[in-house]
Amino acid sequence: MQDKNTELSERKKAILKAIIDTHINLGEPVGSKYLTQYKQIAFSSATIRNEMAELEDMGYLEQLHTSSGRIPSELGYRFYVDQLMQQYRMTQAELGELNKLQTLKAAELDRILDRATKLMSMLTNYTGVALKRAPARQTVARFDAMYLSPRNFILVMLTASGNVKTRQVRLGFDVSRDTLERLTMVLNDCIAGLDLDGITLPVMLDMQRRVPDGERLINPIISAIYETVGEVDDGELMFDGVNNLLNYPEYSDIDRVRDMLGLFDRQDDLREVLSHDASDQTNVYIGSENSVEVMNNSSLIFRAVKSGDKVIGAIGVIGPRRMDYSKVVTLVDYMSKNISSMLEPSGLLGIEHCQDEEDS
């Protein structure tokens, strides 16, 4: 579609901004008579009517009924967000609420994001949403094993994040208890604490040399580790203030409400959107710009939360297309930066190289 932004005169921009500001505040179609009373509009009613008609022809406004005023279209909202909206100035009360996050410990990311969603909901009267990303790959801090039978045992893996994962290993040959103990010791010596990329061929060959029947035993063990530790957790999604949406006439249709509630129940679609942004900007998705179909009448504003250069989550707001964009963008931007400033980059633990017993 051809970019029409350059076609707007300063007068059209002023009238479009006045219409959108008014519609956001009142929730009603806006007519020329009302705009003549708008303090920033100094044009006659006839001039405003003509400009509104042209803005409608250009796709920036919509008219629900022939006798009613206009409402912004999706294109109108997009131009407003990109070109017209003014910076929102937070109140001292809002800053005070946002800065209460500083009382939480930086290590308690779950509590920080949970509190952040509540604050976003309370301060905007929309729905607050947050995502806590899970590590794409976990590392195993310690290995253990439970002997079941000569060809069957359970490999126990304690991850660096404190989770315990298990994998039952079935072999096509016998191993003794002593061999299993030896295997556990070698795993802890050589690959505990390593990222999967650190389990290289030389490391595997060295482990094979140190374990009885290692040529047959190590490969299935490494496969079991990859299958278990390589599993990607989609992350935890948090919401607050879902019922706030019922306050807006945009969600008065029962089918539309049911679809939106289904979005919060399923979570996968929204998690997909929030988890694939690593930019240093606040994202504004208006109506059909959302990849989730049920959000065609809604807007999503969110920003990634970082610890150093690493994205660890996201914080945002969901509301109707008739959203107070200036306020929400400012609050989300401030909240994201506030959380990121609380989080120190995690240092990596030093990992010793695998050594033979005779070298240790």
pLDDT in tens, 254-287: 888 888 888 888 888 888 888 877 778 999 999 9
Q: Which residues pair with 240 in a beta bridge?
A: 128
* Secondary-structure class of domain 92-134+234-342 per CATH: alpha beta
Share above pLDDT 70 across residues of the chain, in percent, rounded to a whole number:
89
- Stretch among 19-33, 157-171, 208-222, 310-324 having the lowest mean pLDDT: 157-171
Assign 68 a pLDDT band (cuts: 50, 70, 90): confident
Question: Which residues in 62-72 are b (16+ Cβ under 10 Å) and which e?
Answer: eeeeeeebbbb
pLDDT tens-digit series, residues 89-103: 999 999 999 988 888
**In the chain, where the domains are located:** 5-84, 92-134+234-342, 140-232
Share above pLDDT 90 across residues of the chain, in percent, rounded to a whole number:
51
Assign 236 a pLDDT band (cuts: 50, 70, 90): confident
- Stretch among 54-63, 66-75, 201-210, 350-359 having the lowest mean pLDDT: 350-359
Assign 356 a pLDDT band (cuts: 50, 70, 90): very low
Burial (CB count <10 Å: 0-12, 13-18, 19+), residue 92: exposed
- Stretch among 10-24, 51-65, 176-190, 197-211 having the lowest mean pLDDT: 197-211
Q: Mean pLDDT, the chain, as a whole number?
A: 86
Q: What is the mean pLDDT of residues 149-158?
A: 91
Secondary structure element (H or E) that encloses residue 239, with its range: strand 236-240
Ranges of H-type helices in 212-253: 214-229
- Rounded-to-integer distance, Cα 160 and Cα 351, Å: 13
pLDDT tens-digit series, residues 40-58: 688 888 999 999 999 999 9
- Stretch among 9-23, 208-222, 302-316, 342-356 having the lowest mean pLDDT: 342-356
Residue 149 has pLDDT above 50, yes or no: yes
Query: Would you call 282 helix, strand, or coil by DSSP?
Result: coil
Residue 4's nearest CA partner among 70, 64, 55, 69 is: 55
At residue 338, what is the residue type? Answer: N
- Rounded-to-integer distance, Cα 351 and Cα 353, Å: 6
Residue 74 has pLDDT above 90, yes or no: yes
Burial (CB count <10 Å: 0-12, 13-18, 19+), residue 356: exposed
Ranges of H-type helices in 87-213: 92-99, 109-124, 177-190, 201-210
Give the number of other CB atoms < 10 A from CB of residue 117.
23
- Rounded-to-integer distance, Cα 183 and Cα 218, Å: 8
With a threshold of 0.75, does the pTM exceed it? no
* Secondary-structure class of domain 140-232 per CATH: alpha beta
Q: Tell me the CA distances in angstroms from 259 to 252, 254, 294, 296, one per residue in order.
A: 12, 9, 6, 11
Among the four given CATH numbers 3.40.50.2300, 1.10.10.10, 3.20.20.70, 3.40.50.620, the one describing domain 5-84: 1.10.10.10
Residue 196's nearest CA partner among 147, 163, 159 is: 159
Q: Tell me the CA distances in angstroms from 88 to 69, 274, 322, one per residue in order.
A: 27, 24, 16
- Rounded-to-integer distance, Cα 290 and Cα 298, Å: 8
Q: What is the mean pLDDT of residues 120-143?
A: 87
- Rounded-to-integer distance, Cα 70 and Cα 360, Å: 80
Residues 6+ apart with CB under 8 A from 349: 160, 193
